[in-house]
Structure 1
């Protein structure tokens, strides 16, 4: 049994005089209206998409360009003020949850598309540019940006870099780390560094890969160069129904084993299908225990061949019904249910807790069966809708925060799911990050040596530990308190920690 997640404690007591001093210093380097300190102004920043945990920040800073970002960092470094970077606030792990005596540095106003280079197939954008806006800007050139989180209409590229976001097309086209060529970063000591390159390779260590997914702990993104890909001539999707969830999960492995890499391969269980169908009317089979959405894209000939091959594999795997989109409108309708699964959860539950873990595809059936057993154990429903092709699970644990103990049970349920992911050789996150949500689960996956190595990277970039402190990496003391380590004779053995 795991202990419930608790909000982070403030690094130092909040005082009104401290707030006035920091606000005055920030007001001297930022334009009017770019420093928020009244509670009614800072309240909208008190949480990200993990809304169960809230903390109003002392101050919100809204720089408008790179020089102003550096100025904010300079003030905070001199005054020893913690900084929590924030994009659009759509993150689901509490990574942008404020600190009571800290500054939220929002990059929302750095929202300019610097240029789109159709010949090089790249776009240079500021961190506050929305994910979908990049594709909209590239569309006249027949190009688009491939990573497409479900929140792409709102989430920004700076946050995507921080969390290494994916989406339904990440199986074929990769995550953010595979589609970002270069980032400009403002460091805590007041420098601008460029990681990566627009060239095929960059000299030195691959720090770009270290930075992407670092959850705002290493620096502030001020500019991003992304890779664009040609928009496929044709896109079609298969919707396949299965009478039981194990057969659906096994079908996923069989598609990949057949040498087919679909543009998207998503799975929804019956709870998810029945949850979203009244919301979007996508035409889902409500009698099916599981639905697979398998997309093919490319030239007409490529798509026709891949659709036929996938349909044959799915039939052999036990599909009870197969439908293929005949028009672009129908393809979008099939996807609309998957894209709207999270908001649709609000129709059947007062609250939901969206988890994120990744497992080897061959263990999909085992883990889904395990989650079903946990539903009984915790007395809570769970809707499973996820990136089946790359084993990235997104269980939606449904609960009512007004019922005593339900939030604690939902957290324990989620922690058990993550422990199961680790036990089968997976990991505790795929694209949502660790933030505060999974910080205790880090103790399940990693030992003291690994955690110290993570802190070594953190110290190299942020010696004063002012950037998003106390997120993502647990201290050994925290792990000991969590109960995953035993202190014997002054030694911290970790043989009981799973090693993969």
Structure 2
């Protein structure tokens, strides 16, 4: 159906804003989760919010499924296309509309990269706090969709904590604004429901973000440990002591091996685990707490403390951590990045269990994660040539569900997307999921906005997302709903 409307899309957006070449369409068949691939019928490249609204309006009228796409760096299949639908790419909406240093905020379009916001704010002594590892390439529109966090989310929170308002195009093609200039808006928190909804409630076209003042002092260290357990216990002791670092990251030996092969960040190749700990704030407070952190590391058996001497060395340390996912490709061409959360006090339990599960599956798992808030990112390594792909997918799913069993969550920041939608009943009751479906249906009654993501796939062929409607065979008494 989208192809017969090509002329209408061209008239609304421009001839160079409609992609239908089969080869070019393949560029949009997946996001960072490459195990799921679907080629869309068309890709649309609007340049303005008005053009986005025009494209969505056509889709709404014709009931054509559409999927918004940013930089395609997502890791849960959240931007997976629909075969008989269109992809609406926001890559051309990349203007920084305003930097307002007095009110400490910026107004940006969704195609602006995360890091470019901080670069634009830097001359005013300000920055944008959320910092996903992909911040050089991931876009703020995608960050809003996934409620991204990053290494510094322990102290500064997630994207939702740094957004004042969003301009959105709703699934019927109309435009509205959620939130406002004030951090306190009366009524239901519609902005909060939209952030992290994974593009299922509409398309963001403009975002007003909060900016923070750069901290007066920043201190960073890397602490080696003889075991992952010792490193995990150190994190628990640190938080129990009342110290809230800006960031606490952990990498195991496999991840360190990959990072050193890729970027030579100076991590110890002979250690079982390393913690990257960063403190920031007033100089006096940072100095006192940094000394306390050093002592806690020693108390828990650190074998080496590397303290970054200056901003340049600190940048090298973080270059290694932020390159970890890509670097794993040096030791395994195929891997699945998982994302789950466990209570911080159960980090050791979770990591021990993951190691046992990996051994049972005959696969390697590399662990790189935000230790401070228990957000695990196990990378399941496999070889397609050895026929390990199916086992790797099963292990990845089992790890995510293990996090729920331990009292955590299926996702900390990568989202549910296509990857973990069928695991949602492990975390939420049927009533919970029905409530989510009703909220979604209030925004998108026809189920055309990023369908098939976030919520479980309907169990009966022909069921529609949203408010429950009986299947025709059920209505005829041929089958029963279980």
TM range (shorter): over 0.9
Judge which range, 406-415 or 310-319, deviates more: 310-319
Q: For 1:440, what is the secondary structure of its paired residue?
A: helix
8 Å CA contact 1:254–1:317 kept in 2: the answer is no
Q: For 2:336, what is the secondary structure of its paired residue?
A: strand
1:139 Cα deviation from its structure 2 partner? 0.5
8 Å CA contact 1:350–1:401 kept in 2: the answer is no
8 Å CA contact 1:451–1:475 kept in 2: the answer is no
- Look up the match of 1:464: 446
* 1:254-295 Cα distance to aligned partner (Å, 9 max, x none): 111110110110001111111211211111122221100100
- Look up the match of 1:312: 295
The correspondence of residues 263-342 of structure 1 with structure 2, limited to 5 A, is 263-342=246-325
- Look up the match of 1:259: 242
> Counterparts of 1:112 and 1:85 in 2: how far apart (Å)?
18
1:302 Cα deviation from its structure 2 partner? 2.4
- The structure 2 residue matched to 1:450, chosen from 428, 432, 444, is 432
1:491 Cα deviation from its structure 2 partner? 7.4
Distance 1:429 1:103, change over 3 A: same
- The structure 1 residue matched to 2:34, chosen from 51, 55, 61, is 51
* 1:72-113 Cα distance to aligned partner (Å, 9 max, x none): 011111111100110110000011011110000111111111
* 1:212-260 Cα distance to aligned partner (Å, 9 max, x none): 1101100100110111011123222111111111111111111111101
> Counterparts of 1:490 and 1:72 in 2: how far apart (Å)?
39
> Counterparts of 1:88 and 1:130 in 2: how far apart (Å)?
9
1:304 Cα deviation from its structure 2 partner? 1.3
> Counterparts of 1:425 and 1:83 in 2: how far apart (Å)?
35
Unpaired runs of 5+ residues, structure 1, are 1-17, 480-488, 493-500
1:134 Cα deviation from its structure 2 partner? 0.3
> Counterparts of 2:11 and 2:216 in 1: how far apart (Å)?
53
- Look up the match of 1:421: 403
> Counterparts of 1:472 and 1:19 in 2: how far apart (Å)?
24
- The structure 2 residue matched to 1:236, chosen from 216, 219, 225, is 219
- Look up the match of 2:412: 430
8 Å CA contact 1:240–1:323 kept in 2: the answer is yes
- Look up the match of 1:21: 4
8 Å CA contact 1:22–1:79 kept in 2: the answer is no
- Look up the match of 1:118: 101
* 1:369-413 Cα distance to aligned partner (Å, 9 max, x none): 001001111111010000000110000111122332x11111100
> Counterparts of 1:471 and 1:368 in 2: how far apart (Å)?
28
* 1:20-56 Cα distance to aligned partner (Å, 9 max, x none): 3121221121122001111122111111001122111
TM-score of the superposition, structure 2-length normalised?
A: 0.94
Q: Does 1:189 align with 2:172?
A: yes
The correspondence of residues 98-497 of structure 1 with structure 2, limited to 5 A, is 98-404=81-387, 406-475=388-457, 477=459, 492=482
Over 4 Å off, 4+ runs: 489-492
- Look up the match of 1:67: 50
Unpaired runs of 5+ residues, structure 2, are 462-478
8 Å CA contact 1:19–1:37 kept in 2: the answer is no
> Counterparts of 1:375 and 1:20 in 2: how far apart (Å)?
46
* 1:105-146 Cα distance to aligned partner (Å, 9 max, x none): 111111111100001110000111110110010010010001
Q: Does 1:41 align with 2:49?
A: no
* 1:409-451 Cα distance to aligned partner (Å, 9 max, x none): 1110011111110011000001000111111211211221111
> Counterparts of 1:478 and 1:235 in 2: how far apart (Å)?
55
- Look up the match of 1:482: none
> Counterparts of 1:47 and 1:200 in 2: how far apart (Å)?
36
Q: For 2:279, what is the secondary structure of its paired residue?
A: strand
> Counterparts of 1:268 and 1:415 in 2: how far apart (Å)?
21
8 Å CA contact 2:261–2:330 kept in 1: the answer is no
> Counterparts of 1:456 and 1:397 in 2: how far apart (Å)?
35
> Counterparts of 1:105 and 1:410 in 2: how far apart (Å)?
31
TM-score of the superposition, structure 1-length normalised?
A: 0.91
- Look up the match of 2:473: none
- Report how many aligned residue pairs link the two structures: 465
1:190 Cα deviation from its structure 2 partner? 2.4
Q: For 1:441, what is the secondary structure of its paired residue?
A: helix
Instruction: State the superposition RMSD in angstroms.
Output: 1.5
